[in-house]
């Protein structure tokens, strides 16, 4: 059986976080994940998770000022203090709610050659804090159509960062099938090439980023194949519903029991 996490950054995004967690529980999800939970006190999030029995798989560091174009801070040489505050805040929040991991958002490149080292230094700093808190650090390559200018654009670059940081066991890559299909595809083989580094898998239809079941990726085949290749975690449903979440949730039961042998 496949296990699914509801991405509360996109699902029920009109509701407060506590209500989103309860909605995910009522809809039959196995876990949740969120982008930016910080408007909700961690104690309230923890209580909602306990009430529903759901686990929070991951949260992101604050992205900075998105209205001004920020999408993460960790590679920006002029904003190291702000980036490290965001990292400390995310790790403390994750520890309080028992989340598995924190996605440290790299940010958009302005072409400054110091960005790569800034990202590495901030990740090393995050790994020191996260180790003490029992939380993993995730990095996520994003496609340039959705996230123009984002520093981390490829799975292979993310794997290179892991190598540079001595394959630290607390540093993992977010394998978002949506972004990785747009930037090269060949999803199963690329998963296998980097299997030991993958901390979490997300998915959505491509190219629309809506419910699975349409589009160019056959998740009824791919998700069981990823599981057969060794992935044991939750599959994060990070898509924008076509109408309401509930109307589009037919995929949950059918994908949960998908097997490599087909229906």
Residues in touch with ligand LASSHYVV (CB under 6 A): 35, 60, 103, 105, 140, 142, 176, 179, 202, 238
In whole angstroms, what is the distance from residue 109 CA to residue 178 CA? Answer: 21
Residue 202 belongs to what H/E stretch? Answer: strand 198-203
Identity of the residue, 25 or 141, whose beta carbon is nearer to Mg ion in the bound complex: 141
The number of helix segments (H) and strand segments (E) in the chain equals 9, 9
Question: Cα separations (Å) of 260 from 176, 194, 222, 252, 257?
Answer: 20, 21, 8, 17, 10
Q: Cβ of residue 36: shortest distance to ligand LASSHYVV, in angstroms?
A: 9
What residues from 21 to 80 belong to the interface with Mg ion (CB under 5 A)?
none
In whole angstroms, what is the distance from residue 141 CA to residue 229 CA? Answer: 21
- Give the one entry of Mg ion, ligand LASSHYVV, none that residue 35 binds, where binding means its C-beta sits below a cut-off of 5 to 8 angstroms depending on kind: ligand LASSHYVV
202 interacts with Mg ion by CB under 5 A: yes
Identity of the residue, 38 or 203, whose beta carbon is nearer to Mg ion in the bound complex: 203
Residue 237 CB burial class (10 angstroms; 0-12, 13-18, ≥19): buried
Q: Which of 176, 204, 223, 224 binds Mg ion (CB under 5 A)?
A: 176
Annotated catalytic residue: which of 33, 115, 211, 238?
238
Q: Cβ of residue 12: shortest distance to Mg ion, in angstroms?
A: 17
Identity of the residue, 35 or 62, whose beta carbon is nearer to ligand LASSHYVV in the bound complex: 35
Q: Dig out the tokens for 118 from the structure.
A: 């800034």
Residues belonging to the active site: 140, 238
- The residue ranges that bind Mg ion (CB under 5 A) are 176, 202, 238
């Amino acid at each position: 059986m496949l296990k699914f996490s509801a991405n509360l950054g996109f699902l029920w995004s009109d509701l407060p976080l506590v209500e989103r967690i309860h909605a995910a529980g009522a809809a039959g999800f196995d876990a949740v994940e969120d982008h930016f939970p910080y408007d909700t006190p961690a104690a309230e999030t923890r209580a909602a998770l306990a009430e529903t029995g759901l686990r929070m798989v991951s949260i992101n560091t604050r992205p900075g000022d998105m209205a001004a174009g920020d999408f993460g801070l960790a590679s920006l040489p002029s904003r190291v203090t702000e980036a490290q505050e965001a990292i400390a805040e995310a790790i403390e929040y994750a520890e309080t709610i028992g989340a598995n991991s924190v996605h440290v958002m790299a940010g958009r490149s302005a072409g400054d050659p110091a960005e790569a080292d800034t990202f590495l230094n901030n990740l090393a700093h995050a790994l020191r804090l996260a180790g003490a808190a029992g939380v993993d650090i995730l990095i996520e390559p994003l496609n340039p159509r959705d996230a123009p200018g984002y520093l981390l654009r490829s799975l292979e670059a993310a794997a290179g960062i892991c190598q540079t940081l001595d394959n630290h066991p607390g540093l993992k890559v977010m394998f978002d099938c949506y972004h990785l299909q747009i930037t090269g595809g060949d999803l199963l083989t690329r998963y296998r090439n980097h299997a030991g580094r993958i901390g979490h898998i997300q998915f959505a239809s491509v190219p629309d980023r809506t419910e699975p079941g349409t589009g160019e990726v056959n998740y009824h085949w791919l998700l069981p194949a990823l599981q057969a290749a060794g992935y044991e975690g939750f599959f994060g449903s990070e898509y924008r519903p076509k109408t309401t979440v509930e109307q589009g949730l037919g995929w949950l039961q059918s994908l949960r029991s998908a097997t490599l042998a087909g229906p």
